[in-house]
Amino acid sequence: MPRYLSLVKIDESTRPAEGPSPGMMQRMGELIEEITKAGVMLDTAGLLPSEQGVRVHLNGGEISVTDGPFTETKEVVGGYALMQCKDMAEALEWSKRFLKVHGDEWNLTLEVREIAEG
């Protein structure tokens, strides 16, 4: 079965200052338990804020490093999920459910891509 990487993109300036609510965390835990029991979830995690990250660039053979936060970027990757699904349609259904768990106070985008095998 193909594997899919779901990248959670977030505008860090619009996320709730208090972070995830206890209710959202409970709903997320229930969904992760369900998707894991279904044999779909291989790995998932949230990422620390971009201010604690770095970007490594290669340009013309030269490597440079930029410390976060990345102010020139509106959206950053805030987390990921690695899933094994029968097809893209199934991966999208799980991704939609993931988004719905967050509620109205979050503005997120998921980029779902099949992993090249072989």
Q: Where are the domains of the chain?
A: 3-114
Mean pLDDT of the chain: 92
- Using the predicted structure, report yes or no on whether residue 72 has a pLDDT greater than 80: no
d(Cα 44, Cα 110) in Å, to the nearest integer? 13
- Quick one: CATH architecture of 3-114? 2-Layer Sandwich (3.30)
Q: Quote the pLDDT of residue 74.
A: 80
d(Cα 101, Cα 118) in Å, to the nearest integer? 34
| C-alpha torsion sign, points 96, 102, 104, 110 | negative
pLDDT-based confidence at 104, cuts 50/70/90? confident
pTM above 0.85, yes or no: yes
Helix 88-102 crosses helix 22-37 at what angle (to 10 degrees)? 160
- Using the predicted structure, report yes or no on whether residue 118 has a pLDDT greater than 80: no
What would the mean pLDDT of 29-57 be, rounded to a whole number? 94
In one-letter notation, the amino acid at residue 87 is D
